[in-house]
Chains A and B, each alone.
Chain A
Amino acid sequence: QVQLVQSGAEVKRPGASVMVSCKASGYSFTGYFIHWVRQAPGQGLEWMGRINPNNGDTIHARHFQGRVTMTRDTSISTAYMELTRLRSDDTAIYYCARDTGGIYDSTLDYWGQGTLFTVSS
């Protein structure tokens, strides 16, 4: 069965960086985009960007330009999202999700369990 398993919760200081991993199983990892979506406490969903695991191409939301890097390691079917220069308002649950839609589409059919990271001094 399709599964996306994310790394565990983290606590970081403002200004630090954090990397979240998302290990895929049960399907061909290179066949589907992986998106990253975050949700601040009590807030809605916010799209961060996506990566094409086949060739590594990425698209990021403008809000995160310059601070987010999305990569993948096809040998272990894992996607990574690194966020730098952390601020307190980056405290959120971060999700990875598989996309079965096309290039101009968003059909997020499987989601990871979420990774909470807290930014606090």
Chain B
Amino acid sequence: QSVLTQPPSVSAAPGQKVTISCSGSSSNIGKNYVSWYQQLPGTAPKLLIYDTDKRPSGIPDRFSGSKSGTSATLGITGLQTGDEADYYCDTWDSSLSAVVFGGGTKLAVL
């Protein structure tokens, strides 16, 4: 059971928009920055979003991050088949003094 809750799967058609939620609590998302990672099959995770809403160099602006209260959201617009991957959120949990990950969300671009 993950400390952060993500939907197991989401799907949308190419060109459409999708959002992935990450629900936590006041000790983690509620007070700390959130990061998002994309993991393509058979590869290491890749940083997509950091500090809740910032994109590293090289990440297209189709990817966005936001937070409200104890929930964070990853948005992906203009979906491409290459976006099919697992997506994970993470943050620092101040009560656990630990990094916590969401359980991951599998994105299908149908």
**B-side binding surface: helix, strand, loop or mixed?**
strand
Q: How far in angstroms is the closest Cβ of chain A from B42?
A: 9
Q: Give the docked Cα–Cα distance between A84 and B92 (Å).
A: 26
With A50-B99, A109-B56 given, is the CB distance from A104 to B44 under 8 Å? Answer: no
Q: Is B94 an interface residue (CB 8 A)?
A: yes
Interface size on B, residues (CB 8 A): 28
Closest to A113 in B: B44
Residues 46-95 of B contacting A (Cβ, < 8 Å): 46-47, 50-51, 56, 86, 88, 90-92, 94
Number of A-B contacts (CB under 8 A): 69
Check if A106 sits within 8 Å of B91, measured CB to CB.
Answer: yes
Residues 69-121 of A contacting B (Cβ, < 8 Å): 95, 97, 100-101, 104-109, 111-114
Task: State which of B39, B46, B51, B96 has its C-beta within 8 Å of the C-beta of A107.
Answer: B51
Residues 17-61 of B contacting A (Cβ, < 8 Å): 32-33, 35, 37, 39, 44-47, 50-51, 56
Q: Is A66 an interface residue (CB 8 A)?
A: no
Q: Give the docked Cα–Cα distance between A112 and B45 (Å).
A: 9
